[in-house]
Amino acid sequence: MKGANDMGLTRREALSSIAAVGGETAVKDALAVLGLGPSSHRRPQPLKLGDGLGQGTRVLVLGAGIAGLVTALELKRAGFAVQVLEARDRVGGRNWTLRNGDRVEYKDGRSQTANFDSGVYFNAGPARIPSQHRTLLDYCSELGVPLEVLVNSSHGAQVRPDLQRPAFTVGQAINDARGHLSGLLAKAVQRDALDDVLSGEERQRLLAFLQVYGDLSQELAYEGSLRSGHQTSLSHPGALPSSAQPVALDRLLHPELWGALLHTEFPEFSATMFQPVGGMDRITDAFYQRLTDQVQMGAQVRQIRQLEDGVAVTYHDRYSGREHVVRADYLVSTLPLPLLARLDTDFS
């Protein structure tokens, strides 16, 4: 079978013809065949428990943090009778956004009240959402939680690995390290140190790459780069900028600097991330709006007992001061394990 190019068609022309006949779906299928479509593993499939799956079944969820709220919402959608027990007077768990007037109580008995200006908040727990956390981003879209970009890294930020010497910028650290290492590798190639692993053509291509990658001179030496910033001439203001003096290699090899050089390379700490407009608790609040009838605040769980036909949970109601026992067919605990270990349970 002849390909598109064999028939005198470019790939673009072929795709345009497919679109004219089959529409968007046909184009996506064609791109997938060519290996150009989106990767299927990047976006999680929606949870499908089935309508009516939980009819007549009661589930207790311990904890109204993000895990407990997601669990409760999905079970409710599937028809389960859900009750969430939360010891605090708020939902969110570790996802806690402090605003003016909020009170923080410490384990040693001290307390502190936030004295913020109007509109100011502090995310005391999680504060960033990586772009690959697609499930959470999908929930934000579904629940109407607006997001904004959070700048997690700036090349203009200052780093000072050695407190006895002046600071320099992250941009200088990244680009000067790249330049110095490119220069060293270029020297190794020129001195035939890699002849046993690279062909002559590969060595020439590597040198050309290093010159661009490290911004090396024609002599393949690193003498500084405008990528690291520039210095202006006091005697000739307005003149074209020149490269700043590069940071010495020995300073860039300081172990305290390695985190600044590498942390944005990890997807969980990429240079740009997301955050909910107004604070991270906007997410858990949006879940709670769908679960107000299911979540019970101030319910401090004291005991968990397994029954032949389910489970029984004893909790203390902080508001009434009374003890209550609730039964269910199933129990889902989202409590931190150290906290769960302190409860009176009969787990085997």
Cα 270 from Cα 129, distance rounded (Å): 10
What average pLDDT does range 133-147 have in this prediction? 95
Domain closes at, from 109, 125, 141: 125
Q: Is residue 134 part of a domain?
A: no
Using DSSP, state whether 176 is helix, strand or coil: helix
pLDDT digits over 45-66, tens only? 667 787 778 899 999 999 999 9
Q: Is residue 204 part of a domain?
A: yes
Q: What is the DSSP letter of 269?
A: G
Indicate whether 293 and 329 sit together in one domain. yes
Indicate whether 75 and 172 sit together in one domain. no
pLDDT digits over 331-344, tens only? 999 999 999 999 99
The domain that holds 86 is classified in CATH as: 3.50.50.60
Indicate whether 345 and 295 sit together in one domain. yes
Give the relative orientation of helices 134-143 and 281-289 as an angle to the nearest 10 degrees. Answer: 60
Indicate whether 251 and 186 sit together in one domain. yes
Q: Is the pLDDT confidence value at 78 over 70? A: yes
Count CB atoms within 10 A of the CB of residue 96: 21
Q: Is residue 323 part of a domain?
A: yes
Indicate whether 296 and 310 sit together in one domain. yes
What angle (nearest 5°) sits at the alpha carbon of residue 219, between those of residues 216 and 224?
35
pLDDT digits over 298-307, tens only? 999 999 999 9
Indicate whether 207 and 291 sit together in one domain. no
Q: State percent of the chain over pLDDT 90.
A: 70
Place 109 in a pLDDT band, splitting at 50, 70 and 90. Answer: very high
What average pLDDT does range 212-238 have in this prediction? 83
Q: Is residue 194 part of a domain?
A: yes
Cα 51 from Cα 73, distance rounded (Å): 13
Q: Identify the pLDDT of residue 344.
A: 96
CA nearest to 316, candidates 303, 299, 333, 296: 299
Question: CB-based contacts of 233: which residues, under 8 Å, 6+ apart?
Answer: 239, 242
Indicate whether 56 and 111 sit together in one domain. no
Least confident of 82-86, 160-164, 283-287: 160-164
Q: What is the DSSP letter of 15?
A: H
Count CB atoms within 10 A of the CB of residue 168: 21
Cα 233 from Cα 252, distance rounded (Å): 26
Q: Is residue 276 part of a domain?
A: no
Q: Is residue 319 part of a domain?
A: yes
Model pTM score: 0.77
Q: Is the pLDDT confidence value at 134 over 70? A: yes
pLDDT digits over 160-176, tens only? 999 999 999 999 999 99
Q: What is the DSSP letter of 246?
A: P
What average pLDDT does range 139-157 have in this prediction? 93
pLDDT digits over 3-40, tens only? 444 556 677 777 677 666 666 666 566 666 666 665 54
Q: Is residue 150 part of a domain?
A: no
Q: Is residue 130 part of a domain?
A: no
Range of the domain at 115: 98-125
Place 96 in a pLDDT band, splitting at 50, 70 and 90. Answer: very high
Indicate whether 289 and 343 sit together in one domain. yes
Q: Identify the pLDDT of residue 229.
A: 82
Count CB atoms within 10 A of the CB of residue 22: 13
Q: How many domains does the chain have?
A: 4
Question: DSSP string spanning 273-301?
Answer: EEEETT-THHHHHHHHHT-TTTEETTEEE
Indicate whether 297 and 335 sit together in one domain. yes
CA nearest to 134, candidates 47, 29, 62: 47
Indicate whether 189 and 290 sit together in one domain. no
